[in-house]
Chain A
Amino acid sequence: MAQQLRKHFGRFIVVALASALFGSITSAQTWLDFKRPAPTAADWAALAKLPDFTGVWESPLGATSLVIPPGAAKPAPEKTASTSRFPTFPMRQPLPLTPEWAAKVQLLREHAGQDTTAANCLPPGMPEIMGQPYPYEFLLTPGQVTIVGEAYMIVRHIYTDGRTLPEDPDPTFFGTSIGHWEGQTLVAESVGFSPQTTIAPDVPHSDKMKIIERFSLTDPDTMSIETTVIDPVAFTQPYTTTRMLKRHANWTIDEYICEQNNRNSVTRDGKAEVDTTPPPPPEPNSK
């Protein structure tokens, strides 16, 4: 007991010393201490020099391979079981998992449920939330880029006002983000992700994950988002993918209330279910 107390006291001294030494630095980096400067007319005018990210963008990937042309021959049932879950974050090469993480992923896959909790309307986190087959809207205001994702009606705030990333942010689905402009490219850095979110289905991240996104226009109506996932515990090296979005000048972001009429679900033990109960017949003279 006495030994334990001494150990605790020792730790307290170390912490107290560290606080005294670095207190001024860390307090300057506290997110809440950052006072955002009021935008000036020059700040608003400066936005016009940035690339035009405004409007609504969607990846032309998406659910495009499920069209059955009329008269198409019915395919014979496949011998191999079709996979029922698809990565929403495009993966071109295998993820560079460390041996420890590969074993973890293997174990998770062996015990994987039939679906993810997105079936229960829980949104995916970063980076998967940026790989949805739904549009995104970009809003540029002084000191901030705001991304509105239609699927699950999500909002990401990327602060470009010069603040630094917090030392120990609360873990959240989309992380805490700052950004800066490198010429015509927006570079966003995000940290602090909830353990409820995954890099890809059954691929968790460690609490060290950092995501760097580089947003740029490759032509006036095409946006490239190069996403690099850095996770020294999960990955042997950073992993980069690029997703291209097309601007749709005639689109707006629509409402998406996932719980409006969600008939899909996944149970705690991973069983996917669908409720096909029809609605009651309309009342007579209701229309």
Chain B
Amino acid sequence: MKQVKANLKQAALFVILLGALIVPAGTAIAHHGFADYDMTRHDTIVGKVRAFQWTNPHTWLWLDVPDGKGGIILYAFEGMSPNYLGRRGWTKDSLEPGDKITVNFFPFKDPAKHGGTLASATKDNGEVLNNFVPAGAR
């Protein structure tokens, strides 16, 4: 039921935000710009949480992702601050080492770097943790 509600919420957001994936001028993220990230693309990856830092000015998430050849590639994701996320449903324990999650992200421009700016993390139980939350949505 919670999942259905979450999906409905997501669907509503989709309608509201359709076509708004490209960052419009005036979007304020504070602290720093997106020079290192390609905000015009997004990607999805599945892996296991290695570490999650609930710190300012940004949260950071590291994910162990199987490379399909028996090895592991380490991905790094930058998230919004604990101040911002803490008011939007996240806690310091939202992601814990070993959690299997699906991550949506805006990739690094540098192809040698794995990871990027976090868009959302979906846990095995269906819980969706969004890194950017539209005004008024909770």
Q: Which residues of A line the B interface, CB within 8 A?
A: 60-70, 72, 74-75, 77-78, 82-88, 90-91, 114-116, 118-119, 121, 131-134, 150-151, 248, 251, 254-258, 260-264, 266, 272-274, 276, 278-279
Contact = CB atoms under 8 A, between A and B. Distances in A.
B28 A131 contact: yes
B60 A272 contact: no
A63 B24 contact: no
Q: Is the interface of A mostly helix, strand, loop or mixed?
A: loop
B130 A118 contact: no
B42 interface: yes
Contacts of B55: 260-261
Contact of A67 (B32, B39, B113, B134): B134
Contact of A150 (B13, B42, B83, B106): B83
Given A133-B30, A134-B84, A78 B113 contact: no
A69 B27 CA distance: 18
A70 B76 CA distance: 20
A215 B19 CA distance: 34
Given A78-B22, A91-B26, 12 more contacts: A64-B133, A67-B132, A69-B14, A114-B35, A134-B84, A254-B82, A256-B56, A258-B57, A260-B57, A261-B58, A263-B58, A274-B113
Contact of B33 (A115, A151, A260, A273): A115
10 contacts: A66-B119, A75-B22, A87-B28, A88-B30, A118-B32, A151-B31, A254-B82, A257-B56, A264-B57, A278-B74
Nearest to B37: A84
B26 A69 contact: no
A251 B83 CA distance: 10
A257 B56 CA distance: 6
A83 B27 CA distance: 11
B22 A82 contact: yes
Contact of A70 (B51, B83, B128): B128
B31 A82 contact: no
Given A74-B42, A85-B33, A65 B56 contact: no
Contacts of B48: none
Interface string B75-89: 010101111101100
Contacts of A65: 17, 20-21, 23-24, 27, 132, 134
Contacts of A70: 10, 104, 120, 122, 128
Contacts, number: 189
Contact of B56 (A68, A261, A278): A261
A262 B42 contact: no
Given A69-B14, A78-B22, A276 B135 contact: no
Interface in B118-132: 119-120, 122, 128, 130-132
A260 B57 CA distance: 7
A279 B55 CA distance: 12
Contacts of B133: 64, 67
